[in-house]
Structure 1
Amino acid sequence: MRSDSTPAPQEAPRWQARNSAAFWAATGRARGHRVIRRRSYLAVAGDERAGLRILIQEPGLGPEEVAEITGLVREAAGPVDAEDPFSATDLDHLGLRSWRMPVMLRLPGAVGEPAADVARVRDSGDLWAAERAVITAFGLTRFEPHRPGELFPLALLDEPGVDVFVARIDGVVAGACVSVVHDGYGSHYWVATPSAFRSRGVGRAVMLGSLGPLAHLPVTLTASQLGRPLYESLGFTATTPSTWWASR
């Protein structure tokens, strides 16, 4: 799709699927993990801490494709996370915890200025600070104790279309996020504000700072219940539910 065309809301799940696959493939390459590409899904098989990530790319997988995914889950070295933006494939037989979150779409448009200092990450110091913010905010105990570069390898900054942003309060990194541009769409991941900095506008600031370079593009994301009001206030609209599964 060209970035100057207007996407229909029903297209959002497919473009979210494509963008998340691009992001996780980039993450897998940067970590040196195995990236598995199929017509209907992409998987990144990592170690005992990173685990296995599965990203469904088409609505409704066939029995053979589900069987392949089942095999990957059984062989996973660590935790398992899977997402289906179409909510059309049943993976409940895997015995994983499941829930739904909305895929949201923001059409191209003006973006306000952030109230806090927001910067694109350029070096390892800011990258490790962003990494710590995400681990803390999302409760990613699998990555504790913290090993700098394990969640966000320095090589991730060299991946085309991938940018990491940090927001600062009084010179201290108080929030972070990742934006990805792929095939004319933008998307956001790991929008994080540790509890010590919440209710101070950090999430809004880091979103505004990272949305600025994407103002000319349609942007998708998958929203948590807590994050949805913020995204709606920034012009995102819920489209369809995405189903997620996780081993823990």
Structure 2
Amino acid sequence: MTNSTDTPARLADAPRLQARNSAAFWAATGRSRGHEVIRRRGFLAVAGDERAGLRVLIQEPDLTADELAEMAGLAREAAEPVDMEDPFSATELGHLGMGSWQMPIMLRPPGGVEPAAVPVQRVRSESDLHGAERAVIESFGLHRFEPYRPGEMFPAALLDEPGVELFVARVDGEVACACVTVAANGFGSHYWVGTTEAARSRGIGRAVMLGSLAPLAQIPVTLTASKLGVPLYEKLGFASAAPSTWWSSSRA
């Protein structure tokens, strides 16, 4: 199986693949939330409200002075929090008053996926969508979305965006793990893979990854992993490719 350029996906391709897919995901998220989506050669930005904040996805390693200046202006004018993602780790943004950290971009080549040990379902109902929101908000500590407002993080319109799918697994009838996948331009990516604290160490995260990977088995898949997630993803066939640098006003 090949990527959108009809050449086999390599580890060296992973930062650009992740950049493009992250832009597709956040553009879809922005549209579904009714937020402004700003597209430039070197970056895509989603300007949200005071709870969602500003999200910037760097698309090229060689941002121009004008692009950097526009990003700085967006950050100054934005309702915090401000989060910027640089899959190329090539752009210094410390002058914007943000702290940074790195996480590995990982790539999985096309290949078979074993069955999940517990049922994993595509999100189709509003109740499942709200369950996915709550699981992700809890597992990632997204206090910006508290107090909880149903449909704020994952609006129902997100399910209508091309290539976007949400998956959930339950423990005792309650959504305990969720994730989002995006398929675009011949490859896929995972986002917001989160398990509630009470359901951890029970194989639920692995199950959701397997269930969500199955529809993407014939294409390359990328993700950006936390350090704790790397061992699981390696067992599922992902390999680390390059560090992605994340910048956030919350880490200042």
| TM bracket (short chain) | over 0.9
What amino acid sits opposite 1:140 in the alignment? L
Q: Which residue of 2 aligns with 1:227?
A: 229
36-45 vs 164-173, greater mean Cα deviation: 164-173
State the shift of 1:169 in Å. 2.0
State the shift of 1:125 in Å. 0.5
CA–CA distance in structure 2, aligned partners of residues 221 and 171 of structure 1 = 28
The one of 216, 219, 242 equivalent to 1:217 is: 219
Within 5 Å, which residues of 2 pair with 1:17-166? 17-166=19-168
CA–CA distance in structure 2, aligned partners of residues 31 and 48 of structure 1 = 13
1:133-160 Cα offsets, whole Å, 9 max, x none, are: 0000000000000000000000000000
Q: Which residue of 2 aligns with 1:171?
A: 173
Q: Aligned with 2:120: secondary structure?
A: strand
Number of residue pairs matched by the alignment: 248
CA–CA distance in structure 2, aligned partners of residues 101 and 173 of structure 1 = 27
State the shift of 1:2 in Å. 3.8
State the shift of 1:4 in Å. 6.8
What amino acid sits opposite 1:101 in the alignment? M
Listed as ranges, the gaps of 5+ residues in structure 2 are none
State the shift of 1:78 in Å. 2.3
User: 2:168–2:175: 8 Å Cα contact kept in structure 1?
Assistant: yes
Tell me the TM-score normalised to structure 1 length. Answer: 0.98
User: 2:131–2:174: 8 Å Cα contact kept in structure 1?
Assistant: no
User: 1:3–1:218: 8 Å Cα contact kept in structure 2?
Assistant: no
CA–CA distance in structure 1, aligned partners of residues 5 and 176 of structure 2 = 32
Quick one: structure 1 residues 4 and 123, their matched pair in 2 at CA, closer, same or farther if it must change by over 3 Å?
farther
Q: Aligned with 2:159: secondary structure?
A: helix
Deviating 4+ runs (over 3 angstroms): 1-5
State, as a whole percentage, how many aligned pairs show the same letter.
69
CA–CA distance in structure 2, aligned partners of residues 91 and 2 of structure 1 = 30
User: 1:3–1:217: 8 Å Cα contact kept in structure 2?
Assistant: no
State the shift of 1:92 in Å. 1.1
What amino acid sits opposite 1:25 in the alignment? A
What amino acid sits opposite 1:48 in the alignment? E
What amino acid sits opposite 1:51 in the alignment? G
What amino acid sits opposite 2:37 in the alignment? V
The one of 198, 213, 217 equivalent to 2:200 is: 198
User: 2:193–2:205: 8 Å Cα contact kept in structure 1?
Assistant: yes
